A = this chain, B = another copy of it.
Protein backbone atom coordinates (compact mmCIF):
# COMPACT_ATOMS: atom_id res chain seq x y z
CA UNK A 1 0.00 0.00 0.00
CA UNK A 2 1.58 3.30 -0.97
CA UNK A 3 2.12 5.96 1.68
CA UNK A 4 -0.85 8.34 1.81
CA UNK A 5 1.09 11.22 3.42
CA UNK A 6 3.57 11.51 0.54
CA UNK A 7 0.83 10.87 -2.01
CA UNK A 8 -1.16 13.79 -0.59
CA UNK A 9 1.90 16.04 -0.82
CA UNK A 10 1.82 15.63 -4.61
CA UNK A 11 -1.30 17.78 -4.74
CA UNK A 12 0.48 20.93 -3.54
CA UNK A 13 2.36 22.58 -6.36
CA UNK A 14 5.08 25.07 -5.51
CA UNK A 15 4.28 28.61 -6.65
CA UNK A 16 7.95 29.19 -7.45
CA UNK A 17 8.10 26.09 -9.61
CA UNK A 18 4.84 26.99 -11.40
CA UNK A 19 6.15 30.46 -12.17
CA UNK A 20 9.49 29.10 -13.31
CA UNK A 21 7.72 26.62 -15.60
CA UNK A 22 5.58 29.45 -16.95
CA UNK A 23 8.73 31.47 -17.63
CA UNK A 24 10.31 28.57 -19.53
CA UNK A 25 7.16 28.03 -21.60
CA UNK A 26 6.83 31.74 -22.29
CA UNK A 27 10.52 31.80 -23.27
CA UNK A 28 9.87 29.14 -25.90
CA UNK A 29 7.15 31.40 -27.29
CA UNK A 30 8.86 34.79 -27.40
CA UNK A 31 12.53 33.92 -26.80
CA UNK A 32 13.86 33.40 -23.28
CA UNK A 33 15.93 36.60 -23.55
CA UNK A 34 12.62 38.50 -23.54
CA UNK A 35 11.33 36.93 -20.33
CA UNK A 36 12.54 38.69 -17.19
CA UNK A 37 12.65 35.56 -15.09
CA UNK A 38 13.22 36.57 -11.47
CA UNK A 39 11.65 33.38 -10.11
CA UNK A 40 14.46 30.98 -9.23
CA UNK A 41 17.37 31.21 -6.79
CA UNK A 42 19.85 29.50 -9.08
CA UNK A 43 23.44 30.82 -9.11
CA UNK A 44 24.37 32.38 -12.44
CA UNK A 45 28.16 32.72 -12.23
CA UNK A 46 30.73 30.01 -12.98
CA UNK A 47 32.40 27.95 -10.24
CA UNK A 48 35.92 29.12 -9.32
CA UNK A 49 38.70 27.33 -11.18
CA UNK A 50 40.05 26.01 -7.86
CA UNK A 51 37.01 23.73 -7.67
CA UNK A 52 37.03 22.57 -11.28
CA UNK A 53 40.81 22.22 -11.56
CA UNK A 54 41.02 20.22 -8.35
CA UNK A 55 38.34 17.82 -9.55
CA UNK A 56 40.12 17.35 -12.90
CA UNK A 57 43.53 16.91 -11.23
CA UNK A 58 42.18 14.31 -8.79
CA UNK A 59 40.50 12.36 -11.60
CA UNK A 60 43.68 12.47 -13.70
CA UNK A 61 46.24 11.66 -11.04
CA UNK A 62 44.73 9.94 -8.01
CA UNK A 63 44.56 6.19 -7.71
CA UNK A 64 40.85 5.57 -8.56
CA UNK A 65 40.25 2.92 -5.86
CA UNK A 66 41.42 5.45 -3.28
CA UNK A 67 39.74 8.50 -4.84
CA UNK A 68 36.33 6.87 -5.27
CA UNK A 69 36.52 4.66 -2.16
CA UNK A 70 34.09 4.81 0.73
CA UNK A 71 34.36 7.96 2.77
CA UNK A 72 34.29 7.28 6.53
CA UNK A 73 30.70 7.76 7.66
CA UNK A 74 31.63 11.01 9.41
CA UNK A 75 33.35 12.44 6.32
CA UNK A 76 36.88 12.54 4.88
CA UNK A 77 39.28 13.63 7.67
CA UNK A 78 41.33 15.92 5.39
CA UNK A 79 38.18 17.63 4.17
CA UNK A 80 36.91 18.14 7.71
CA UNK A 81 40.30 19.56 8.74
CA UNK A 82 40.30 22.13 5.94
CA UNK A 83 36.76 23.27 6.73
CA UNK A 84 37.49 23.50 10.47
CA UNK A 85 40.69 25.48 9.90
CA UNK A 86 38.94 27.90 7.57
CA UNK A 87 36.10 28.56 10.02
CA UNK A 88 38.53 29.01 12.90
CA UNK A 89 40.63 31.46 10.88
CA UNK A 90 37.59 33.47 9.83
CA UNK A 91 35.41 33.45 12.91
CA UNK A 92 37.82 32.76 15.76
CA UNK A 93 35.98 29.68 17.01
CA UNK A 94 38.31 26.73 17.73
CA UNK A 95 36.63 24.11 15.54
CA UNK A 96 38.51 20.84 15.03
CA UNK A 97 37.76 18.21 12.36
CA UNK A 98 35.60 16.36 14.91
CA UNK A 99 33.12 19.25 14.86
CA UNK A 100 32.51 19.09 11.10
CA UNK A 101 30.01 16.78 9.42
CA UNK A 102 30.00 16.96 5.59
CA UNK A 103 26.53 16.80 4.07
CA UNK A 104 24.66 16.94 0.80
CA UNK A 105 24.14 20.71 0.86
CA UNK A 106 22.18 22.70 3.43
CA UNK A 107 19.14 20.44 3.07
CA UNK A 108 21.24 17.51 4.26
CA UNK A 109 22.85 19.63 6.96
CA UNK A 110 19.52 20.80 8.39
CA UNK A 111 18.10 17.24 8.20
CA UNK A 112 20.91 16.04 10.48
CA UNK A 113 21.02 19.08 12.77
CA UNK A 114 17.28 18.93 13.44
CA UNK A 115 17.27 15.22 14.25
CA UNK A 116 20.31 15.57 16.52
CA UNK A 117 18.74 18.15 18.84
CA UNK A 118 15.00 17.57 18.63
CA UNK A 119 12.66 14.62 19.05
CA UNK A 120 9.19 14.00 17.64
CA UNK A 121 6.66 16.25 19.36
CA UNK A 122 9.13 19.07 20.10
CA UNK A 123 8.57 22.55 18.74
CA UNK A 124 11.02 24.27 16.41
CA UNK A 125 10.67 28.02 15.92
CA UNK A 126 11.27 29.70 12.58
CA UNK A 127 11.09 33.41 11.80
CA UNK A 128 8.94 34.75 8.99
CA UNK A 129 9.76 35.32 6.24
CA UNK A 130 11.42 31.95 5.62
CA UNK A 131 12.24 29.42 2.92
CA UNK A 132 9.06 27.31 2.49
CA UNK A 133 11.05 24.05 2.53
CA UNK A 134 11.50 24.54 6.28
CA UNK A 135 7.97 23.10 6.55
CA UNK A 136 8.82 19.59 5.30
CA UNK A 137 12.36 19.81 6.72
CA UNK A 138 10.97 20.19 10.24
CA UNK A 139 7.59 18.50 10.17
CA UNK A 140 8.85 15.28 8.55
CA UNK A 141 11.13 14.70 11.57
CA UNK A 142 8.01 14.54 13.74
CA UNK A 143 8.75 17.90 15.39
CA UNK A 144 6.38 20.83 14.86
CA UNK A 145 7.28 24.04 13.08
CA UNK A 146 6.02 27.15 14.88
CA UNK A 147 6.21 30.45 13.03
CA UNK A 148 7.34 33.64 14.75
CA UNK A 149 5.62 36.39 12.74
CA UNK A 150 7.69 38.83 10.69
CA UNK A 151 8.40 42.33 11.90
CA UNK A 152 8.26 44.80 9.05
CA UNK A 153 9.87 46.90 7.76
CA UNK A 154 13.39 45.85 8.89
CA UNK A 155 12.70 42.10 9.19
CA UNK A 156 15.08 41.61 12.10
CA UNK A 157 13.84 39.21 14.82
CA UNK A 158 10.38 39.93 16.25
CA UNK A 159 11.48 39.68 19.89
CA UNK A 160 8.10 40.31 21.50
CA UNK A 161 6.56 37.44 19.60
CA UNK A 162 9.63 35.30 20.21
CA UNK A 163 9.46 35.73 23.99
CA UNK A 164 5.80 34.72 23.96
CA UNK A 165 6.44 31.66 21.82
CA UNK A 166 9.53 30.36 23.62
CA UNK A 167 7.81 27.67 25.69
CA UNK A 168 9.50 24.71 27.40
CA UNK A 169 8.47 22.59 24.42
CA UNK A 170 10.83 24.49 22.11
CA UNK A 171 13.93 22.39 21.40
CA UNK A 172 15.47 24.50 18.66
CA UNK A 173 15.27 27.80 16.83
CA UNK A 174 16.10 27.97 13.12
CA UNK A 175 17.52 31.19 11.68
CA UNK A 176 18.60 32.18 8.17
CA UNK A 177 20.84 35.20 7.74
CA UNK A 178 21.32 36.47 5.05
CA UNK A 179 17.68 35.65 4.51
CA UNK A 180 15.81 34.05 1.67
CA UNK A 181 13.49 35.78 0.59
CA UNK A 182 14.20 39.21 2.12
CA UNK A 183 17.97 39.54 1.67
CA UNK A 184 18.09 40.84 5.27
CA UNK A 185 21.21 40.22 7.40
CA UNK A 186 20.76 39.87 11.17
CA UNK A 187 22.73 42.60 12.93
CA UNK A 188 25.13 41.93 15.81
CA UNK A 189 22.56 43.54 18.10
CA UNK A 190 19.90 41.12 16.92
CA UNK A 191 22.14 38.11 17.48
CA UNK A 192 23.25 39.37 20.90
CA UNK A 193 19.67 39.82 22.04
CA UNK A 194 18.62 36.48 20.56
CA UNK A 195 21.50 34.78 22.41
CA UNK A 196 20.58 36.48 25.68
CA UNK A 197 16.97 35.33 25.43
CA UNK A 198 17.91 31.77 24.47
CA UNK A 199 20.39 31.63 27.36
CA UNK A 200 17.85 32.93 29.83
CA UNK A 201 15.07 30.62 28.67
CA UNK A 202 17.40 27.61 28.53
CA UNK A 203 18.26 28.24 32.17
CA UNK A 204 14.60 28.71 33.09
CA UNK A 205 13.52 25.51 31.31
CA UNK A 206 16.47 23.41 32.47
CA UNK A 207 17.49 22.36 28.97
CA UNK A 208 19.50 24.06 26.28
CA UNK A 209 17.58 25.43 23.34
CA UNK A 210 19.68 24.86 20.23
CA UNK A 211 20.21 27.45 17.53
CA UNK A 212 20.30 25.99 14.02
CA UNK A 213 21.77 28.53 11.66
CA UNK A 214 21.10 28.02 7.95
CA UNK A 215 23.81 29.97 6.11
CA UNK A 216 23.96 29.18 2.39
CA UNK A 217 24.19 32.89 1.55
CA UNK A 218 26.90 33.75 4.09
CA UNK A 219 29.46 34.74 1.46
CA UNK A 220 27.10 36.93 -0.58
CA UNK A 221 27.37 40.06 1.55
CA UNK A 222 27.19 43.64 0.33
CA UNK A 223 29.02 46.90 0.98
CA UNK A 224 32.24 45.08 1.85
CA UNK A 225 30.75 43.81 5.10
CA UNK A 226 30.98 40.39 6.72
CA UNK A 227 27.79 38.68 7.83
CA UNK A 228 27.70 38.37 11.66
CA UNK A 229 28.25 34.69 12.47
CA UNK A 230 25.51 33.39 14.81
CA UNK A 231 27.70 30.72 16.45
CA UNK A 232 29.93 33.52 17.83
CA UNK A 233 27.02 34.80 19.88
CA UNK A 234 25.52 31.59 21.27
CA UNK A 235 27.39 28.40 22.17
CA UNK A 236 24.66 25.87 21.39
CA UNK A 237 24.74 26.62 17.68
CA UNK A 238 24.79 24.17 14.79
CA UNK A 239 25.89 26.01 11.66
CA UNK A 240 24.45 24.56 8.46
CA UNK A 241 26.36 25.57 5.36
CA UNK A 242 26.25 24.85 1.66
CA UNK A 243 28.85 25.59 -0.99
CA UNK A 244 26.01 25.86 -3.53
CA UNK A 245 26.03 29.64 -3.69
CA UNK A 246 29.60 30.53 -2.68
CA UNK A 247 31.15 28.14 -5.23
CA UNK A 248 28.17 28.17 -7.64
CA UNK A 249 27.79 24.38 -7.51
CA UNK A 250 24.21 23.78 -6.29
CA UNK A 251 23.84 20.56 -8.27
CA UNK A 252 26.88 19.02 -6.58
CA UNK A 253 25.07 18.90 -3.22
CA UNK A 254 27.92 19.74 -0.88
CA UNK A 255 27.81 21.41 2.51
CA UNK A 256 28.36 20.68 6.19
CA UNK A 257 27.19 21.03 9.76
CA UNK A 258 29.71 22.77 12.04
CA UNK A 259 29.09 22.06 15.73
CA UNK A 260 30.22 24.88 17.99
CA UNK A 261 32.94 23.40 20.27
CA UNK A 262 31.30 25.19 23.23
CA UNK A 263 27.99 23.48 22.54
CA UNK A 264 26.33 20.94 24.82
CA UNK A 265 27.60 17.46 23.83
CA UNK A 266 29.95 19.05 21.29
CA UNK A 267 31.95 15.83 21.00
CA UNK A 268 28.85 13.67 20.57
CA UNK A 269 26.84 15.55 17.97
CA UNK A 270 28.86 14.67 14.86
CA UNK A 271 28.96 10.94 15.73
CA UNK A 272 25.20 11.17 16.37
CA UNK A 273 24.77 12.65 12.89
CA UNK A 274 26.58 9.58 11.57
CA UNK A 275 23.89 7.47 13.22
CA UNK A 276 21.13 9.69 11.85
CA UNK A 277 22.56 9.16 8.36
CA UNK A 278 21.99 5.42 8.62
CA UNK A 279 18.25 5.91 8.97
CA UNK A 280 17.79 8.54 6.28
CA UNK A 281 20.13 7.01 3.71
CA UNK A 282 22.51 9.96 3.56
CA UNK A 283 25.91 8.27 3.96
CA UNK A 284 28.21 11.17 3.07
CA UNK A 285 28.38 13.39 0.01
CA UNK A 286 30.46 12.27 -3.00
CA UNK A 287 34.16 11.87 -2.12
CA UNK A 288 35.32 13.67 -5.26
CA UNK A 289 33.03 16.62 -4.56
CA UNK A 290 34.08 16.75 -0.88
CA UNK A 291 37.73 16.96 -1.94
CA UNK A 292 37.16 19.59 -4.64
CA UNK A 293 35.06 21.81 -2.34
CA UNK A 294 37.59 21.55 0.50
CA UNK A 295 40.36 22.68 -1.83
CA UNK A 296 38.28 25.78 -2.67
CA UNK A 297 37.05 26.35 0.90
CA UNK A 298 38.42 29.90 1.09
CA UNK A 299 37.43 30.89 -2.42
CA UNK A 300 34.20 31.98 -3.98
CA UNK A 301 32.87 32.38 -7.48
CA UNK A 302 32.83 36.02 -8.61
CA UNK A 303 29.80 37.05 -6.58
CA UNK A 304 29.99 40.78 -7.37
CA UNK A 305 27.31 40.54 -10.04
CA UNK A 306 24.69 40.01 -7.34
CA UNK A 307 25.53 43.31 -5.63
CA UNK A 308 25.50 45.14 -8.97
CA UNK A 309 22.06 43.68 -9.75
CA UNK A 310 20.76 44.44 -6.27
CA UNK A 311 21.73 48.11 -6.52
CA UNK A 312 20.08 48.51 -9.90
CA UNK A 313 16.84 46.96 -8.68
CA UNK A 314 16.82 48.59 -5.25
CA UNK A 315 17.27 52.05 -6.76
CA UNK A 316 14.50 51.42 -9.27
CA UNK A 317 12.07 50.06 -6.69
CA UNK A 318 12.86 52.99 -4.37
CA UNK A 319 12.38 55.49 -7.13
CA UNK A 320 9.04 53.97 -8.10
CA UNK A 321 7.79 54.38 -4.56
CA UNK A 322 7.94 50.77 -3.35
CA UNK A 323 8.39 50.09 0.36
CA UNK A 324 11.54 48.00 0.28
CA UNK A 325 14.40 47.18 2.63
CA UNK A 326 17.89 47.25 1.15
CA UNK A 327 19.33 43.69 1.25
CA UNK A 328 22.60 43.06 3.07
CA UNK A 329 23.28 39.92 1.07
CA UNK A 330 21.83 36.92 -0.90
CA UNK A 331 20.52 37.43 -4.40
CA UNK A 332 17.00 38.32 -3.32
CA UNK A 333 15.09 41.50 -2.63
CA UNK A 334 11.56 41.59 -1.20
CA UNK A 335 9.56 44.78 -1.91
CA UNK A 336 6.00 45.32 -0.69
CA UNK A 337 3.53 44.84 -3.51
CA UNK A 338 1.52 47.84 -4.68
CA UNK A 339 -1.74 46.20 -3.72
CA UNK A 340 -2.63 44.04 -0.76
CA UNK A 341 -2.80 40.85 -2.75
CA UNK A 342 0.77 40.18 -3.86
CA UNK A 343 -0.49 37.29 -5.98
CA UNK A 344 -2.67 39.66 -8.00
CA UNK A 345 0.28 42.07 -8.27
CA UNK A 346 2.54 39.32 -9.62
CA UNK A 347 -0.13 38.16 -12.08
CA UNK A 348 -0.34 41.68 -13.48
CA UNK A 349 3.47 41.75 -13.80
CA UNK A 350 3.28 38.62 -15.96
CA UNK A 351 1.61 40.69 -18.68
CA UNK A 352 4.94 42.52 -18.98
CA UNK A 353 6.91 39.25 -18.90
CA UNK A 354 8.19 40.12 -15.43
CA UNK A 355 8.30 36.96 -13.32
CA UNK A 356 8.11 37.87 -9.61
CA UNK A 357 7.18 35.46 -6.81
CA UNK A 358 4.45 36.42 -4.28
CA UNK A 359 5.67 35.81 -0.72
CA UNK A 360 2.60 34.14 0.82
CA UNK A 361 4.50 30.87 0.85
CA UNK A 362 7.39 32.58 2.65
CA UNK A 363 4.89 33.83 5.26
CA UNK A 364 5.28 37.44 4.19
CA UNK A 365 1.89 38.13 2.59
CA UNK A 366 1.72 41.35 0.63
CA UNK A 367 5.38 41.13 -0.42
CA UNK A 368 7.05 39.66 -3.50
CA UNK A 369 10.48 38.14 -4.06
CA UNK A 370 12.81 39.12 -6.87
CA UNK A 371 15.64 36.59 -7.40
CA UNK A 372 18.23 38.63 -9.29
CA UNK A 373 20.77 35.87 -9.95
CA UNK A 374 20.60 36.62 -13.67
CA UNK A 375 22.80 38.57 -16.11
CA UNK A 376 23.21 42.26 -15.32
CA UNK A 377 22.45 43.03 -18.94
CA UNK A 378 19.01 41.47 -18.53
CA UNK A 379 18.44 43.27 -15.23
CA UNK A 380 19.18 46.56 -17.01
CA UNK A 381 16.76 45.74 -19.81
CA UNK A 382 14.11 44.87 -17.23
CA UNK A 383 14.24 48.26 -15.45
CA UNK A 384 12.22 50.26 -18.01
CA UNK A 385 9.78 47.35 -18.22
CA UNK A 386 9.27 47.45 -14.44
CA UNK A 387 8.73 51.19 -14.72
CA UNK A 388 6.13 50.79 -17.49
CA UNK A 389 4.36 48.02 -15.57
CA UNK A 390 4.10 50.11 -12.41
CA UNK A 391 3.10 53.33 -14.12
CA UNK A 392 0.43 51.67 -16.23
CA UNK A 393 -1.04 49.34 -13.62
CA UNK A 394 -0.68 51.56 -10.55
CA UNK A 395 -0.91 55.16 -11.81
CA UNK A 396 -2.24 56.40 -8.45
CA UNK A 397 0.16 54.51 -6.17
User: Which residues between 59 and 85 of chain A lie within 8 Å of chain B, taking CB atoms?
Assistant: 59-60, 63-65, 67-71
User: Which residues between 1 and 50 of chain A lie within 8 Å of chain B, taking CB atoms?
Assistant: 1-7, 9-10, 42-47
User: Which residues between 130 and 146 of chain A lie within 8 Å of chain B, taking CB atoms?
Assistant: 133, 136-137, 139-141
Do B7 and A251 touch (CB < 8 A)? no
* A245 CB, min distance to chain B CBs, angstroms: 11
Q: Mark A267-304, 1 if CB is under 8 A from B, else 0.
A: 01101110110111111111111000000000000000
A366 to B84, CA, bound (A): 45
**Residues of chain B contacted by A268 (CB below 8 angstroms):** 2, 7, 10
Q: Which residue of B lies closest to A284 (CB)?
A: B253
Q: Which residue of B lies closest to A45 (CB)?
A: B65
A248 at interface by CB-CB < 8 Å: yes
User: Which residues between 189 and 213 of chain A lie within 8 Å of chain B, taking CB atoms?
Assistant: 207-208
Given known contacts A137-B281, A281-B282, A286-B253, A119 and B4 CB-to-CB distance under 8 angstroms: yes
User: Which residues between 173 and 198 of chain A lie within 8 Å of chain B, taking CB atoms?
Assistant: none
Q: Which of A110-118, A217-225, A330-338, A380-388 binds B? A: A110-118
**Residues of chain B contacted by A265 (CB below 8 angstroms):** 2, 7
Do A68 and B248 touch (CB < 8 A)? yes
**Residues of chain B contacted by A7 (CB below 8 angstroms):** 265, 268, 272
Do A6 and B275 touch (CB < 8 A)? yes
A52 at interface by CB-CB < 8 Å: yes
**Residues of chain B contacted by A107 (CB below 8 angstroms):** 278, 281-283
**Residues of chain B contacted by A276 (CB below 8 angstroms):** 6
Identify which of B9, B269, B279 contacts A275 (C-beta below 8 A): B9
Do B47 and A281 touch (CB < 8 A)? no
A109 at interface by CB-CB < 8 Å: yes
Do A3 and B69 touch (CB < 8 A)? no
* A128 CB, min distance to chain B CBs, angstroms: 19
* A123 CB, min distance to chain B CBs, angstroms: 12
**Residues of chain B contacted by A64 (CB below 8 angstroms):** 46-47, 52, 248
* A78 CB, min distance to chain B CBs, angstroms: 13
* A372 CB, min distance to chain B CBs, angstroms: 15
Max count, chain B CB within 10 A of own CB: residue among A10, A69, A110, A207: A69
A110 to B277, CA, bound (A): 13
Do A252 and B287 touch (CB < 8 A)? yes
User: Which residues between 228 and 267 of chain A lie within 8 Å of chain B, taking CB atoms?
Assistant: 248-254, 264-265
Q: Which A-B residue pairs are the 8 nearest by beta carbons?
A: A140-B279, A111-B281, A251-B287, A136-B278, A68-B249, A280-B280, A46-B64, A108-B281
**Which A positions have Cβ atoms within 8 angstroms of B?**
1-7, 9-10, 42-47, 52, 55-56, 59-60, 63-65, 67-71, 103-105, 107-112, 115-119, 133, 136-137, 139-141, 171, 207-208, 248-254, 264-265, 268-269, 271-273, 275-276, 278-289
Between A and B, 23 residue pairs with Cβ closer than 8 Å are A1-B171, A3-B117, A6-B115, A6-B116, A7-B265, A9-B272, A10-B272, A45-B65, A46-B64, A55-B59, A70-B250, A71-B251, A103-B281, A105-B281, A107-B281, A110-B281, A251-B287, A252-B286, A254-B286, A280-B281, A281-B282, A288-B288, A288-B289
